[in-house]
Amino acid sequence: MPGLRHIVHYGLHSLAPLVLAWILWPAGRWRAALVLLAANLIDLDHFFSDSVFVLNRCSIGSHPLHSDLAILILIGLSFWPRARQVACGIWLHLLADSIDCIWMIL
């Protein structure tokens, strides 16, 4: 089921931010959608890895912005109201990557 895995993974990266923006920030849904989608830019840290893209490598723990330290910083960002939308987008991104990691194990 590699096809389904990729549909779920990229659906969470692209469609889930739109749905979440519509639900959580109805007054500013377009701005929120752009912020949540922009949170996917944390994948730019792949350029700092030994090889930029490896199909069956778990991103969590393999890249600087997907590390334990980055997640600890993200927890702090979640409590700062001005950064909450960005933090929410990054959490959603990390959730998608975590589900993908679990899927690789199964």
Q: Where are the domains of the chain?
A: 2-105
pLDDT at 99: 93
Dihedral sign (CA 65, 42, 55, 94): positive
pLDDT at 5: 85
pLDDT at 65: 92
pLDDT at 1: 61
Mean residue pLDDT across the chain? 91
pLDDT at 80: 95
Pick out the chain residues at pLDDT < 50.
Answer: none
Dihedral angle over CA of 93, 86, 33, 103, nearest 10: 10
CA distance linking residue 80 with residue 95, whole number of Å: 20
pLDDT at 2: 67
